[in-house]
Homo-oligomer: A and B are copies of this chain.
Amino acid sequence: MAELSLNRAHSIIRKALAKGREAGFKPLSVVVLDTGGHVKAFEREDGAAPGRFGIAHGKAYGAIMLGMAGRAQMARAEQQAYFMAAVNGVYGGQVVPVPGGVLVRDKRGNIVGAVGVTGDTSDNDVIAAVAGIESVGLTPED
């Protein structure tokens, strides 16, 4: 399975942050995880709250660990809150099941990582993540 290079991860972050600024979103925080759910790169904009790493990470981490993007996780949480609570027990409480955790797929459809964005509404966080992922020619699944 291919992995995102640091250069590509960094481009995704920079583009996501630029998208947020263009669109007038609140200061964003963006993480890129590899296919094992491990942190490749992260940036928190000036003015974002200090705890935003954990939220960005939790959105992307659940996406990788379950192979399920944030919107699907939220749907499951709405239907079966106890299931997502149990998932969080298994994964050490590190999953944040809301939009803004976006899977990254290559042209063959393989998952090559995940992006987590937090700072504005969940829907706006997704817009920034998608802009970042598409800017490097990869396919978001949000």
Q: Which residues of A contact B (CB under 8 A)?
A: 1-3, 5-6, 9-10, 34-46, 48-51, 53-55, 57-58, 64-68, 77-78, 80-98
Contact = CB atoms under 8 A, between A and B. Distances in A.
A64 B50 contact: yes
A89 B37 contact: no
Contact of A91 (B39, B51, B83): B51
Given A1-B1, A35-B36, A42 B42 contact: yes
A42 to B, nearest CB: 4
A51 B77 contact: no
Contacts of A40: 43-44
Given A50-B64, A82-B97, 14 more contacts: A9-B43, A36-B36, A36-B38, A36-B50, A41-B42, A49-B65, A49-B67, A51-B65, A51-B91, A81-B81, A83-B96, A85-B88, A89-B93, A89-B94
